[in-house]
Amino acid sequence: MVIGVPKEIKDQERRVSCTPAAVNQFVHEGHTVYVETNAGLESGFTDEDYKEAGAEVLDNAADVWAKADMIYKVKEPIESEYQYFREDLIIYTYLHLAADAPLTKEMVDKKVVGIAFETVQVGRALPLLKPMSEVAGRMAVQEGAKFLTKPQGGKGVLLQGVPGVAPAHVVVLGAGVVGTAATRIAVGMGARVTVLDVNIDRLGEIGDIFLDKIETLYSNNFNIANVVKDADLVVSTILIPGHKAPQLISEDMIKTMEPGSVIVDVAIDQGGSTDLTAGRPTTHTDPVFVEHGVVHYAVANIPGAVPKTATQALSNATTRYGVAIAKLGWKEACKRYPELVPGVNTAEGFVTYQPVAEDLGYDYKDLAELL
């Protein structure tokens, strides 16, 4: 198979899908890999590194897209990339389609096979979302701590406090991978931490990890309203896999927060989980907006800020399935690795992932009928 690795062009996206080590794996198995020039530069990999690993480096994105049977990238294609879509092209990347009706329409109309990292599922686990969630959770608290400082528009609170002065109160909504990583950093920085989830088992597990260093609370409207009011930093990390995020933090709740408090909405890539961030993602260039005195951070590609760490973590997790698709073709790969089946969001002009079909009003096509 011919694999194309374009340079990411989303704002401040500095990751690349594929390390030279991963290229080497594809080439070793007899595949051809085209990498766009400078695609890996900001992750620490030069064109020479890719050539040594066996890739061919091409000067422009159009050639990479045109030659490839499978485009292997990081972020969902943006509008200027839609022109490259064609029937049966495989796009293996993060897609977040429930939050992106125009992209879904393009992929369906042009009969692209869209395999989304974030919906590949083993049991309840999302193994290709996990490495970036580990990064985003850690970054969320780091960024939140920065925006709590006065020069950044925050209320002027130090997360860890000092002897004789209380630490900041960090509220983490959702105790999954992002939530656990955020909790780890918040606890490590000495904040007072409250974690909410609807999954009581998850609350038990996170309670066992951090023992008496955190409080856990069942997530419902009443409890969210109570803790948000008192929070210095809220990190929202909820996910209902594949679906658009629900807005659990209402505008009325935000109005009760002290001016200069910060909300980091990590769930923005699934559409946003607060009334004010929903449909209003920010970028690394312009990461926050202030409304009702509260600082809102809603960057949809948080790991893009730490590409040297994030690229390796992503490539480690995704290459294995990329190699399987290249070797077997996407249909056989789905039969051999059933966890790939929910990853296929669009194929042959259909939406083949039920949550996306439901949220965007498409007829759902069971992938089994196409395999």
Ligand X SMILES: NC(=O)c1ccc[n+]([C@@H]2O[C@H](COP(=O)([O-])OP(=O)(O)OC[C@H]3O[C@@H](n4cnc5c(N)ncnc54)[C@H](O)[C@@H]3O)[C@@H](O)[C@H]2O)c1
Residues noted as catalytic: 96, 269
Binding mask 216-235 for ligand X (x = CB under 6 A): ---x----------------
What are the distances in angstroms from CA 93 to CA 73, 114, 115, 314? Answer: 5, 8, 7, 10
List the one residue from 32, 149, 199, 309 that touches ligand X (CB under 6 A). Answer: 199
Q: What DSSP string describes 320-339?
A: HHHHHHHHHHHHHHHHH-GG
Parallel, antiparallel or unpaired: strands 233-236 and 169-173: parallel
Cα angle 151, 155, 157; round to 5: 90
Stretch that binds ligand X, among 83-91, 161-169, 172-180, 254-262 (CB under 6 A): 172-180
Q: Of 4 and 303, which CB lies nearer to ligand X in the complex structure?
A: 303
The Cα–Cα gap between 88 and 347 comes to 8
Do 266 and 258 form a contact (C-beta atoms < 8 A)? no
Stretch that binds ligand X, among 64-72, 73-81, 156-164, 295-303 (CB under 6 A): 295-303
Can residue 319 be called a binding residue for ligand X (CB under 6 A)? Answer: no
Can residue 268 be called a binding residue for ligand X (CB under 6 A)? Answer: yes
Q: What amino acid occupies position 9?
A: I
The residue of the chain with the least Cβ separation from ligand X equals 176
Q: Which two tokens stand for residue 216?
A: 């856990």
Can residue 178 be called a binding residue for ligand X (CB under 6 A)? Answer: yes
List the one residue from 42, 118, 143, 359 that touches ligand X (CB under 6 A). Answer: 118
Cβ at position 246, least distance to ligand X in Å: 7
Instruction: Give 298: exposed, middle or buried? Use CB within 10 Å, 0-12, 13-18, 19+.
Output: buried
Do 283 and 289 form a contact (C-beta atoms < 8 A)? no
Closest alpha carbon to 313 in 43, 176, 132: 132
The residues facing 294 across adjacent strands are 291
List the one residue from 69, 81, 197, 359 that touches ligand X (CB under 6 A). Answer: 197
The residues facing 70 across adjacent strands are 3, 90
Q: Of 90 and 306, which CB lies nearer to ligand X in the complex structure?
A: 306
Can residue 249 be called a binding residue for ligand X (CB under 6 A)? Answer: no
List the one residue from 8, 69, 143, 269 that touches ligand X (CB under 6 A). Answer: 269
Which helix H or strand E contains 171, and what residues bound it? strand 169-173
The Cα–Cα gap between 43 and 50 comes to 12
The Cα–Cα gap between 298 and 35 comes to 30
Can residue 264 be called a binding residue for ligand X (CB under 6 A)? Answer: no
Residues in region 10-39 near ligand X by CB under 6 A: none
List the one residue from 22, 71, 98, 129 that touches ligand X (CB under 6 A). Answer: 129
Closest alpha carbon to 83 in 104, 58, 66: 66
Can residue 159 be called a binding residue for ligand X (CB under 6 A)? Answer: no
Q: Of 129 and 168, which CB lies nearer to ligand X in the complex structure?
A: 129
Closest alpha carbon to 82 in 57, 62, 98, 59: 62
Can residue 194 be called a binding residue for ligand X (CB under 6 A)? Answer: no
Can residue 133 be called a binding residue for ligand X (CB under 6 A)? Answer: yes
List the one residue from 267, 325, 334, 351 that touches ligand X (CB under 6 A). Answer: 267
Cβ at position 219, least distance to ligand X in Å: 3
Cβ at position 160, least distance to ligand X in Å: 24
Do 195 and 178 form a contact (C-beta atoms < 8 A)? no
Can residue 196 be called a binding residue for ligand X (CB under 6 A)? Answer: yes
The Cα–Cα gap between 343 and 118 comes to 7
Stretch that binds ligand X, among 80-88, 131-139, 305-313, 338-346 (CB under 6 A): 131-139
Cβ at position 344, least distance to ligand X in Å: 18
Can residue 121 be called a binding residue for ligand X (CB under 6 A)? Answer: no
The residues binding ligand X (CB under 6 A) are 118, 126, 129, 132-133, 136, 173-179, 196-199, 202, 219, 237-240, 248, 266-270, 300-303
